[in-house]
Amino acid sequence: MVELQIEEATSKMKKAVAATQDEFGHIRTGRASPHLLDRIEIDYYGARTPLNQIAGISVPEARMMVISPYDKSALTAIEKALQQSDLGVNPNNDGSIIRLNFPPLTEERRKILIKQVKERAEEGKIAVRNVRRHAKVEMEKMQKDGEISEDDLKRSEKELQKITDHYVEEIDKMFGHKEQELLEV
């Protein structure tokens, strides 16, 4: 029964780490990345459609992204969505494709982005710790109901703490990597 709680907690912690990694992927570094456009949706014939479903996205250079719509009539809708997004770049429409040129990050912008990454990392760590707390409460309830002994509770709490420390450390490593990426000139 305790093993089930620990397995469930481990699974939830993995998901929290994956969500944090996903959040990091959406924060712009000095390079162009197709993941930056994952959250952008276009009003396509009255339906909200993700950009990557109606256009091909390529990165021919480190600071340039090219968007080739499958349907040329969607070009203006894509351009409008990109202008309204929080990317901070202006789309260049040449009538058949859209180019996004990513300027080098200024020192001030790098500091702001590092601050955002740090906040996302902290949110991820909080999520992992909340999973630990919830599992610990469940195990304490099991001990109170007589399903497990006090020794089993202590042993499983130690194991749960080890797992929590592992995932918190993983988030710290991801933060360090993203911070290095942002500081790269």
Average pLDDT over residues 94-113: 86
- Residue boundaries of the structural domains of the chain: 2-26+106-183, 34-101
pLDDT band of 1, cuts 50, 70, 90: confident
Q: Is the pLDDT of residue 184 over 80?
A: no
Q: Is the pLDDT of residue 76 over 70?
A: yes
Q: Do the domains 34-101 and 2-26+106-183 match in fold?
A: no
In whole angstroms, how far apart are CA 156 and each of 120, 137, 145? 29, 12, 16
pLDDT band of 185, cuts 50, 70, 90: low
CATH of domain 2-26+106-183: 1.10.132.20
pLDDT tens-place string over residues 166-176: 999 999 999 99
CB-based contacts of 23: which residues, under 8 Å, 6+ apart?
120, 123, 124
pLDDT band of 130, cuts 50, 70, 90: very high
pLDDT tens-place string over residues 8-57: 999 999 999 999 998 888 777 767 778 888 888 898 888 898 988 999 99
pLDDT tens-place string over residues 2-19: 888 899 999 999 999 999
What CATH architecture applies to the domain 34-101?
A: 2-Layer Sandwich (3.30)
- pTM of the entire structure? 0.75
Average pLDDT over residues 103-125: 89
